Amino acid sequence: MKSRLLTIILAVTLFLLAILSLFVGVMDINLASLFSGDAKQWEIFIVSRLPRLLAILCTGVGMSVAGLIMQQLCMNKFVSPTTGATISSAQLGILLALLFMPGSTLWGRAMFAFATAILGTWLFVWFIQRVKFKDVVMVPLVGIMFGNVIGGITNFLAYKFEMTQALSSWLVGHFSLVIKGRYEIVYLVVPLVIIAFIFANHFNIVGMGKDFSKNLGVNYNVILFMGLTIAAVITASVVVVVGAISYIGLIVPNVVAMFKGDKIRGTLVDTALFGAIFVLVCDMIGRVVIAPYELPIELIVGILGSILFIGLLLYRLKNGRKAIRLTGSGTTGCGNSSSHLDGGNQT
């Protein structure tokens, strides 16, 4: 019962915040004039406010679920679209689209972004599996480095072809350009999250290792790549519309897992709701702080996120988890595929 309660609280909070957010902005919109049929107010509402809210919700849900999937599949609590090179790969894809197809539509750019995000994520996971890092912090570090290499290539190309200005919109995530007709790709998040929910148990099983998966008749590689592909496409569809938003995929799943454990079936809904709340709150702060101007959401998320992230790191270092294995007491340190923060301090 207690677990249901959290879901209900999150859902109600999100609902109230969502309503509130519709009435926060440069132009004053109030219920009275909406009901009296003020055409101009309705226009702002339909063209700007509502799309913005929907984009925010999709972003929050998508990025946190993508992070959840990546963390489970990689058996590492610090892997996320940011630390797994997915976001920077998607940005490279957008730049390539701008270079090779200058007249490309949103969908054209999205296709490029999907392809590069999927490839980048696969490459990263293939690499960490190949090298079999034993240290839990090593994996996200490698991911960050890999992401920076890709980011470097993106920047180089952007400078060379004088595209830095065009690209900047995708480097720092913000919702100010989200209006009707320019954001609908982000709806892709919805079916993908539903697929993720259907395959939740598969992802859990793959997260417990290759042998464990085989024992239960689950095809490890197929599920691994399917999960990574879902996470990459979710991320890319968000990046194409609003740009890079870091930390959400890292922090939200971790915070939820602290309370509700790692069974994806049990945490996916809460993770999605909490992610949406987190992005919504950050966006509202960004809209209010220097009104009538607004700060890009990436800035707010970055500040709040990094504080939470440090807290999370300290928490994990303090409460190192014990591994469960056939041979019992967890005194044997971590196996070659394990890569948990506490892995190191068991040996």
Partner 1 sequence: MQIKDLTKKYNGNPVVDSVDLEIPKGKVISFIGPNGAGKSTVMGMISRLIARDSGLVAFDGTDIEKWKSKELSKRLAILTQSNNIQMKLTVRELVAFGRFPYSGNRTTKEDEEIIQQAIAYMELEEFQDRFIDELSGGQRQRALIAMVIAQDTDYVLLDEPTNNLDIYHATNMMKIVRRLCDELGKTIILVLHEINYAAFYSDYICAFVDGKVAKFGTVKEVMTKETLSEIYKVDFEILEIEGKPLSIYY
Residues contributing to the site for partner 1 (CB under 8 A): 72, 75, 198, 200-201, 204-205, 207-212, 214-219, 257, 261-263, 265-266, 321-332, 334-338, 340, 342-343
CB atoms within 10 A of CB 344: 17
Using the minimum distance from each CB to partner 1, give the nearer residue, 160 or 321. Answer: 321
Residue (of 89, 319, 45) closest to 180 by Cα position: 45
CB of 185 to partner 1, least distance (A): 29
Using the minimum distance from each CB to partner 1, give the nearer residue, 148 or 219. Answer: 219
Report H helices in 177-296.
Answer: 189-198, 200-207, 210-215, 220-242, 248-260, 264-288
Residue 63 structure tokens: 């990025």
Using the minimum distance from each CB to partner 1, give the nearer residue, 25 or 343. Answer: 343
Residue (of 273, 254, 264, 270) closest to 200 by Cα position: 264
Q: What's the burial of 162, exposed, middle or buried (CB within 10 Å: 0-12/13-18/19+)?
A: exposed
Residues 6+ apart with CB under 8 A from 216: 205
CB of 2 to partner 1, least distance (A): 11
Using the minimum distance from each CB to partner 1, give the nearer residue, 279 or 341. Answer: 341
As a whole number of angstroms, the distance between CA 103 and CA 68 comes to 35
Using the minimum distance from each CB to partner 1, give the nearer residue, 41 or 204. Answer: 204
CB of 320 to partner 1, least distance (A): 10
CB of 258 to partner 1, least distance (A): 8
CB atoms within 10 A of CB 6: 16
Residue type, 202: H
CB of 137 to partner 1, least distance (A): 15
Using the minimum distance from each CB to partner 1, give the nearer residue, 40 or 263. Answer: 263
CA distances from 54 to 62, 180, 331 (A): 12, 10, 48
Helix, coil or strand: residue 85: coil
CB of 315 to partner 1, least distance (A): 13
CB of 271 to partner 1, least distance (A): 14
Using the minimum distance from each CB to partner 1, give the nearer residue, 193 or 236. Answer: 193
